[in-house]
Amino acid sequence: MALDSVAAAPLTYPDDSETARKIRKADDLLGTVEQGGLFAVLVVMVLVGGINVLLEKLVHTKIWFAEDVVSAGTFWMATFGAAFATQQQRHLAMDLVSRQFSPRGRLILAAVLEVVTIAVAILMVKYGLRLVDVSQAVTGRHLISLPTIVSGLAAASALIAVHATLHLFLHIDYIARGKLPPERMRSAH
């Protein structure tokens, strides 16, 4: 079996309970929607930005909303990218600390970290909603209003909390059944 086919193979969880399978399916579906949204935002940003540059160079004019699209897109890519990274469990991990624990200890540590992530994400939702309120005072001619842009922080933080909650339920399910889920391969980067 080639290394490429191993890397492309979907991660399987043979010890999942029926509940865990359903939770993973919901989490994967939500992640697929997020990935599609991120791709759509990137395509729009590249198209609008590219056309805007061409117009500036060729006819010395620009698209009046190009800056709005690029600013909003950049912010949304960062915030929703963090939510997608949470779904993929590809965010920063505490590998140096977790290596000191047994596999069951790592599972318990992961559950504790999910609780912390949920708490921080809830605070970020509250902060994002407060930013939406504060940004209402900003006026001007914009295709995408500042409140709409910053609402992405609250929405992405809510998605992070949802993913972390789903992962927490998976960890609790494994802990309660005395099983260990397969661990992802660790890398130095």
pLDDT in tens, 79-128: 999 999 999 887 666 566 667 888 888 889 889 999 999 999 999 999 99
Q: Rounded to whole angstroms, what are the CA distances from 133 to 73, 83, 141, 147, 148?
A: 20, 23, 19, 7, 11
How many Cα atoms are found within 13 Å in the side-chain-facing hemisphere of 53?
6
Q: Global pTM?
A: 0.85
144-149 mean pLDDT: 88
- For residue 187, the one-letter residue type is S
Asked whether the beta carbons of 137 and 148 are under 8 A apart, the reply is no
Question: Confidence band (pLDDT; 50, 70, 90) for 71?
Answer: very high
